[in-house]
Amino acid sequence: MGEDPASQVYVRNKKLACEYIGINSFEYLLPESTTQKELIELIEKLNNDDTVSGILCQLPVPEHINEEAVINAIDPKKDVDAFHPVNVGRIMTGNYDFVPCTPAGVMELINESGIDVSGKECVVVGRSNIVGKPMSMLLLHKNGTVTICHSKTQNLAEKTRNADILVAAVGIANFIKGDMIKPGAVVIDVGINRIAPKVLVGDVEFESAKDVAAAITPVPGGVGPMTVAMLMKNTLKAAEINKTK
């Protein structure tokens, strides 16, 4: 809904990924003036449409829309973002079909790089519902020892310097400096911060971090494309689940 410039880029990338792998995607670009009732009616129509496997509402929604009501309106079986409380709860228990796309992308990077999480000190900086909280659960399911840090954490650098695997998801440009990282750590930067019209940087100060870390993801180009790839994976899963309905 509306004209958020970042959302326009994200939606475009998602549509391109669908096209690339052969998933039909339909964009409903609703004007800012759309009411919550109209938006939820559209979601319900898509919930009941057997030709639709997955639904997502790109966030943020305008201020007059209750984000929670919108998320709750999506059929959990079609919730390819895994934002519905049913899917959030299933992440806690470990019995899930859909994994939130960004944390799923981070896990894929870790696994594909041959990094074993079991027993490692994992520090997640950020506690959002979309990234920090589910990220911590996924690392815990892999037997990591997980610490969640946030804006009220005292002695943050002491905590981050303890991390074998450090995930930065605070949304503050260049927040984690090289001297906050343990030599040889794996550093995953979830931040996408626009500091000038065409300049994106992460939450980690790449220049000071790259020589301290054993492995580090760049911004742009690291976690971002993985998020879209995981959305495609969830959509395929949704197609499989809804086929047997």
For residue 117, the minimal CB distance to ligand GUN (Å) is: 22
For residue 231, the minimal CB distance to ligand GUN (Å) is: 7
Q: Which residues bind ligand GUN (CB under 6 A)?
A: 56-59, 81, 101, 130
**Residue nearest ligand GUN, CB atom distance:** 59
For residue 170, the minimal CB distance to ligand GUN (Å) is: 15
Packed helices 132-141 and 101-112: angle between N→C axes, nearest 10 degrees: 40
Closest to 209 measured CA to CA, from 191, 236, 227: 191
Closest to 187 measured CA to CA, from 166, 161, 207: 166
The residue (of 83 and 206) whose beta carbon lies closer to ligand GUN is: 83
Per the annotation, the verdict on 8 as an active-site residue is no
Instruction: List the structure tokens of 163.
Output: 């991390």
Closest to 82 measured CA to CA, from 67, 96, 62, 66: 96
Per the annotation, the verdict on 58 as an active-site residue is yes
| Alpha-carbon span 99 to 78, nearest angstrom | 12
The residue (of 58 and 174) whose beta carbon lies closer to ligand GUN is: 58
**Sole residue written with tokens 């496997």:** 53
The residue (of 55 and 213) whose beta carbon lies closer to ligand GUN is: 55
**Active-site position among 4, 15, 36, 58:** 58
Per the annotation, the verdict on 154 as an active-site residue is no
The residues annotated as belonging to the active site are 14, 58, 81
